[in-house]
Amino acid sequence: MPRIISANLNGIRSAHKKGFFEWLATQDADYICVQELKAQEADMTEDFLRPHDYHGHFHYAEKKGYSGTGIYSRTAPDKHRIGFGCVEFDAEGRYTRCDFGDLTVISLYAPSGSSSPERQLAKFRFMEVFLPHLQELQAEGREIVICGDWNIAHKEIDLKNWKGNLKNSGFLPEERAWMTRIFDELGLVDVHRGLDPRPEQYTWWSNRGQAYAKNVGWRIDYHVATPGIAKCARTVSVYKDVKFSDHAPLIIDYER
């Protein structure tokens, strides 16, 4: 039963100090998608490149201490790719893809628009170019799981204070409609929500106030999958026992 984990690390060095890789050794995971490395190749020690004999592939941002994605896998992929063909966002290290047989695993870190109006416009540009890429992926006819921080809470159930965030990045009508298109028009599947329809299944909490302690969070980390592999999903959990980051790892077991 393949186990796939998605984890925004908010800095691989920071997560390492907080015990992420020790925890990873206990998880028996087949694929681990990480986001927000905040590191360049020169910063990556052997512990980061091949922890516990996992194979690692990474997409580093050109800007130091920013963004970055990666995939760890038990077995070496048949092939891997960094970037999805858009110069602007490939420079930000937002996309790592690995193929294993008929399965494609992708680690995605979608832009956040919360820091400035300029970044929100960049997020809209990302949405515009990434939707056609998803269609191209589907046309390959493979089973695909895209894990990562999409920086959008899709529905009211996906964040605690939805009424207060209707005009804020991450819960804007345009962003939510875009996610709806991915699920309803393209037919991709929100695997977590298919397994667990309960509220308060959050994966990110602001560092302000007591958001984590009070569970005032957002569900912005997803496994978005093609229907075939989505049907194989059996269990889902959000790991909160230890706080490695402002995000919590999202763990889904698939039966193939």
- What pairs with residue 34 in β-bridges? 7, 70
Which residues are catalytically annotated? 109, 149, 247
* pLDDT tens per residue, range 95-125: 999 999 999 999 999 999 999 999 999 999 9
pLDDT at 92: 98
* pLDDT tens per residue, range 22-31: 999 999 999 9
Q: Is residue 109 a contact partner of residue 36, using CB atoms and an 8 Å limit?
A: yes
Binding residues for Mg(2+): 8, 36, 149, 151, 246-247
User: What CATH number labels 3-254?
Assistant: 3.60.10.10
Binding residues: 8, 36, 149, 151, 246-247
How far is residue 200's CA from residue 84's CA, in Å, rounded to a whole number?
Answer: 32
pLDDT at 128: 98
Binned at pLDDT 50, 70 and 90, residue 209 comes out as confident
Q: Which residues contact 223 (CB under 8 A, 6 or more apart)?
A: 4, 6, 145, 146, 147, 190, 191, 192, 233, 250, 252
Q: Which of 77, 76, 79, 57 is nearest to 68 (CA)?
A: 57
pLDDT at 241: 97
* pLDDT tens per residue, range 131-190: 999 999 999 999 999 999 999 999 999 999 999 999 999 999 999 999 999 999 999 999
Q: Is residue 255 a contact partner of residue 234, using CB atoms and an 8 Å limit?
A: yes
pTM: 0.98
pLDDT at 78: 98
Binned at pLDDT 50, 70 and 90, residue 256 comes out as confident
Does the pLDDT value for residue 1 go beyond 90?
A: no
Average pLDDT over residues 215-235: 98
pLDDT at 131: 98
Residue with tokens 């302690």: 213
